[in-house]
Amino acid sequence: MMKKNKKSKKEHPYVKWFFVHVLNHKVLFTLNFIGIVSLTYLRTMIPVQIGNIIDSIIQRYFLYSLLVTMLILLGYYLLRNAVEYATWMIGHQLGSKTEQSMRKEFFETVHNKPLSFHDKIKTGDLEALATNDLRVVNTLIAHGSFYIYPFVQTVVILIQIQTFNYWMALLTVPFLGIYIYFVLRYRKQLLPYSKASLRKHADVAVALQESLNSVQVTKAFCAEEVEYSKFKQAVQAFRNNRLGEIRIQARFFPLLTLYAAIGTSLVFGAILISYNLMSVGHLTAVILLFITLINPTQMIFWATRDMIRGFGASERLFNIISTGEAELAAKSIGIDISKPLQQISLKGEIKFQNVSFTYPNGNPKNPQVLKNLTFSIRPNQRVALVGPTGCGKTTLAKLLLRFYEPQEGTILLDDEPIQNFPLEQVRQRISLVEQDIYLFSQTIEENIKFGYPEASKEEVIEIAKLAYAHDFIMNFDKGYDAIVGERGTTLSGGEKQRIAIARAFLTDPDVLILDDSMSAIDSETEEQIGKAIRNILKDRTTLIITHRLHTIRTSDLILVMKDGEIVAQGKHDDLIKSSNDYRKVFGMYLDDGKLAQEVA
């Protein structure tokens, strides 16, 4: 038996996690428990006092004793209402505080997961967990005590009836036993539907999120009907599960059992009264005690569903939180991340030594993206990374930012393994401007300051001018306070890239990675930004993933990639003569005559 209990705890660690969060608010939890016990006592004492009043009237004990009993009854009634209100409010307060602490842990944990975790999970699932599932947990805590309450009251009622009449107590035992059996049976039948409802709701959220994110593509391909069909299927599955849940709820036998117990007790009590074995007041108290179970039994109707869903949601939340390892944060190893960025610096020397990498998608046959990469970049060197699409250029940049860890080989920063540096320091001092720009639905100033929130307005304007973004920003009515819309929808591709370049420049990184960051910029704008880049790139190491001929030609070092390998490296003049792969890349943008001149 002991082994079974230990196994159960291991199989359900989310239960421990749930109660850790609940018991963080010990005062509220204790008050809620005391409230439930007090409410149970007060609910059962009111019928007892009514029975005493009826006996007093029948036996003509009017005057003092009757008046005292009625005042006691009034006191019980008022106190019961006050305790019920207080318990209800305390339960909801406990639920809200627990939901808040769980949501905070969930948000922080998910943000601290590596990219390999986010590659495998749907955003809509995370949104459903952070909203619907946590709200369900809140409901469980707020109403969960009312699920336990009917069982406690059943035991108290049996004890109360025992004090009135032994035979009546024996009669009620089978009914109460059947009552508890049907409650537990109802829970067992409802369990799969209530758990599935969380998954079905998440499926609807995923379908909606994906459809809204792809609305431009959907309209471009006139695929509205396809998206509607996918969403309809998700909604239909959610509806069918809900109907199954309702069918189980329609067969709610505990209430019928309670009514049968009331009717039988009334008949049997009348017989006992006829033989002077029970008073009218006591029979009235017994009937009223059973009646007090009607409201709690109706609570079980929805409290059971809330409890199953709540623990199901806790399990789903815990599974996400406990899946995989979180990235190592500087604050977790004692690094002062409040230290200004400029006080933490790197020389900017980068070395890859026999680095190989495969994306961790769980497929053992997945091919290697990077194969045995070995190269060195000196401090302040400007390096162009070129090669055909899909050869691993962007993946190399992601390894440098430690978005992923290589399966083989070592990456060195300033002759130190990159893992020896706190993760925040690596990402603070290495900036990436991606090809696929993401801007937040905030002001332009907030987007530029995203990597360095302490920057002043003057610094933001200065850096925007360097990125040639200031002029178009001032064309907005609100200037730097203009909202750019979700993902920067109110800006053109070139404008978004200039904002992203300004955002990277503002952090004053020691190493700057430009991942085809000028692909959406016209030649005139590129020339303007080129002047700014030449100033900003001074005294910093730069890795440029590009197909721009001028940028490639003027780089200090060119790394040529093919099929995940470095097939050539050197300067333009040497590579154009010695590397066939480089000539293929470079020749894509030149006609045969010009390419011949370059080679000559």
DSSP-assigned beta bridge partners for residue 544: 384, 514
Q: What is the pLDDT at residue 585?
A: 73
**Is 290 in contact with 258 (CB distance < 8 Å)?**
yes
- Distances from the Cα of 151 to the Cα of 32, 36, 392, 592, angstroms: 16, 12, 63, 88
* Spatial separation of the C-alpha atoms in residues 204 and 227, rounded to whole Å: 12
- Give the E-state strand segments of 479-540 in sequence order: 511-515
Q: What is the pLDDT at residue 527?
A: 65
Model pLDDT for residues 388-447, shown as the tens digit of each residue:
888 888 888 888 888 888 888 999 988 888 888 888 888 888 888 877 778 888 888 888
Mean pLDDT of the chain: 78
Model pLDDT for residues 214-245, shown as the tens digit of each residue:
776 777 777 778 888 888 888 888 888 888 87
Q: Is the pLDDT of residue 510 over 80?
A: yes
Residue 567: exposure state from Cβ atoms within 10 A (0-12, 13-18, ≥19): middle
Which two structure tokens, joined as six digits, stand for 221?
């391909």
pTM of the predicted model as reported, rounded to 2 decimal places:
0.70
- How many whole angstroms from its chain centre is CA 137? 13
Q: Tally DSSP H helices, then E strands, for the chain.
A: 24, 10
Q: Is the pLDDT of residue 147 over 70?
A: no
Read off the pLDDT of each residue in 539-568 and give the average, rounded to a whole number. 84
Backbone angles phi, psi at 358, to 5 degrees: -130, 135
Q: What is the pLDDT at residue 551?
A: 76
Q: What is the pLDDT at residue 512?
A: 87
Q: What is the pLDDT at residue 128?
A: 80
* Dihedral, CA of residue 462, residue 465, residue 469 and residue 470, to nearest 10: 80
Q: Is the pLDDT of residue 105 over 60?
A: yes
Pairing label, strands 557-562, 382-386: parallel
* Spatial separation of the C-alpha atoms in residues 51 and 260, rounded to whole Å: 21
* Choice among 202-211, 250-259, 338-347, 382-391 with the minimum mean pLDDT: 338-347
**Is 201 in contact with 129 (CB distance < 8 Å)?**
no
Q: What is the pLDDT at residue 171?
A: 81
Q: Is the pLDDT of residue 289 over 50?
A: yes
- Distances from the Cα of 506 to the Cα of 330, 373, 399, 435, 510, angstroms: 22, 31, 23, 18, 12
In one letter, which amino acid is 149?
A: Y
549: part of which helix (H) or strand (E)?
helix 549-553
pLDDT band at 5 (very low <50, low <70, confident <90, very high): very low
Three-class SS of residue 84?
helix
Q: Is the pLDDT of residue 596 over 50?
A: no
* Spatial separation of the C-alpha atoms in residues 193 and 241, rounded to whole Å: 6
Sign of CA dihedral 263, 266, 272, 278: positive
**Is 515 in contact with 434 (CB distance < 8 Å)?**
yes
Q: What interhelical angle do 134-164 and 63-111 show, nearest 10? A: 150
pLDDT band at 27 (very low <50, low <70, confident <90, very high): very high
Read off the pLDDT of each residue in 470-498 and give the average, rounded to a whole number. 82
* CB neighbourhood size of 408 (10 A): 15
Sign of CA dihedral 173, 175, 179, 181: positive
Q: Is the pLDDT of residue 62 over 70?
A: no
User: Distance between the two ends of the chain, CA-based, in angstroms?
Assistant: 86
* Spatial separation of the C-alpha atoms in residues 599 and 594, rounded to whole Å: 9
Taking alpha carbons only, the member of 460, 445, 373 closest to residue 409 is 373
Model pLDDT for residues 8-20, shown as the tens digit of each residue:
445 578 888 888 8
Give the chain's domains with CATH numbers. Answer: 12-322 (1.20.1560.10), 346-599 (3.40.50.300)
Residue 116 exposure: Cα atoms within 13 Å on the Cβ side: 17
* Spatial separation of the C-alpha atoms in residues 416 and 426, rounded to whole Å: 12
